[in-house]
Amino acid sequence: MKAGFVFLAALAWCVSVLTQTMPQTLPQTPPSAPAGAAASQRPSITLQDAIQRAKLDSAEFRAALTAAGLAREDVVQARAALLPGINYTTGAIRTEPNQTPSGRFISSNGPNEYISQGSAQETIGFTGLADYRRSHAAAALAKAKAEIAARGLVATVVQDFYGAIVAQRSIANAEAAAGEARRFVQLSEQLEKGGEVAHADAIKARLQANDRELDLQNARLAEENARLSLAVLIFPAFTQDFELVDDLRFPPPLPAFPEAEKLAAQNNPEIAVALAATAAAAREVDVARGGHLPSLTFAYFYGIDAPDYATRSDGVRNLGYQYSATLQLPVFSWGATQSKVRQAELQEKQAKVELSAAQRQALANLRIFYAEAAARKDQIDTLRQSADLAAESLRLTNLRYRAGEAGALEVVDAQNALALARNNFDDGEARYRVALANLQTLTGAF
């Protein structure tokens, strides 16, 4: 008995020791990741995201930037043409000897001739300076055209972006209208069973439901097309896996017309292009007239031109310098130079005419675009009110129909009016954004 008690006490002590040394919790296997966790989430694209993406991938916009970059490099090259060119030349000429100092070829200075020279050459003339000024004007013209391309691209992105947003909303509106039509079918059938309405009401309700289902399918097709158009514009690799951030409910303000007019006077790229084109045409005239003026070329050489490849040979110093100056005077070109001048003057006159036309058109466009933006802004509140009134009208018409005071045609008309009012409201918000983008092509961002 005593031995059994001792055994049980020892067993209890072992269990307590093991319990204290074992971890309190067992290690758990980490949960496996869900099957779709590795897949990338769909990016949410805002309007600014879409604009930045389009600027990276638009071929037309990149072509305008490339043209501006080429024009800047033309400026660098024209400036370099005004500065001295420095070169180094080394070589050897071997002529068959014939017992004469020059050798077999009389054009040689000797049987062995070694050349190692550095040279600097500069041409001074009115044409080079005029060409440099022309390159500056051409660079300004290319820069202005790039700005036009940028603003036009923004307007295109705005139109496509909000077109896709409106298409998404159209689906929601079509789904709501289809739901209303289905509920009306159920109501008319219930009332028909109770003998409260004629079978014609149920037929009319069913026709309305069919039309709303077709509208829903068409809305989905339109949304697909709108997303495709936007995807081609903003993604380098074709994809439809993205979400659009709907910010139509927060329209930006429209500045007062005097402020817009001031911005247009400062930032209108069309006027900038016309001014730059006029300046470039004037520089072309200067370049053409430079053909009548003289030019001076100065060349300086330092090094060796000797029978040995050394700075000294036979006690004679080979290292030395040489320079030359050449004055070129144009005398007669069979009228080609004067013809070039006349061509440049004709282009300058045309550029001035186009500048005047651009200034007039800019004033007209500013008033047109501003008036459209102001009208679209004022229409938003009216369209919102119309949508609210159409919803209330449908609610009241349904109540009157249940009470037997309205016919099925009135319910159908109220449903159609609500669907139209909702779509018009969404279109109105998008049209205001597009009108603002068109105005900003003249004024820049505000």
Tokens for 332, please give them.
């007669």
Q: Which pLDDT band, with edges at 50, 70 and 90, does 98 fall under?
A: confident
Question: Quick one: average pLDDT of 377-390?
Answer: 95
How much is the pTM? Answer: 0.78
- SS3 call for 326: strand
- Name the strand (E) or helix (H) holding 85: strand 85-94
Tokens for 217, please give them.
């399918």
Which range among 62-71, 96-105, 248-257 shows the weakest confidence by mean pLDDT?
Answer: 96-105
- SS3 call for 314: coil
Q: Which domains does the chain have, with CATH numbers?
A: 44-86+126-293+361-443 (1.20.1600.10)
Query: What are the tens digits of pLDDT across the range 192-216?
Result: 888 888 899 899 999 999 999 999 9
User: Highest mean pLDDT: which of 99-103, 210-214, 442-446?
Assistant: 210-214
Q: Which residues pair with 325 in a beta bridge?
A: 298
Beta 44-45 vs 243-244: how paired, if at all? parallel
CA–CA separation, 186 and 181 (whole Å): 9
Angle of helix 59-82 versus helix 126-193 axis, rounded to 10: 170
First-to-last alpha carbon distance for the chain, in angstroms, is 100
**pLDDT at residue 19 is higher than 80:** no
Please tell me the predicted confidence (pLDDT) of residue 110. 75
What's the CA angle centered on 365, arms 359 and 371, to 5 degrees? 145
CA–CA separation, 134 and 74 (whole Å): 10
Q: Phi/psi at 245 (nearest 5 deg)?
A: -85, 115
Overall residue count recorded for the chain in this entry: 446
Please tell me the predicted confidence (pLDDT) of residue 28. 36
Residue labelled with tokens 């000429």: 93
Q: Which residues pair with 122 in a beta bridge?
A: 298
Q: Which pLDDT band, with edges at 50, 70 and 90, does 377 fall under?
A: very high
Q: According to the 3-state scheme, what is the secondary structure of 40-74? A: CCCCEECHHHHHHHHHHHCHHHHHHHHHHHHHHHH
* Closest to 153 in 3D by CA, of 233, 67, 68: 233
* Closest to 208 in 3D by CA, of 223, 222, 188: 188
Please tell me the predicted confidence (pLDDT) of residue 106. 65
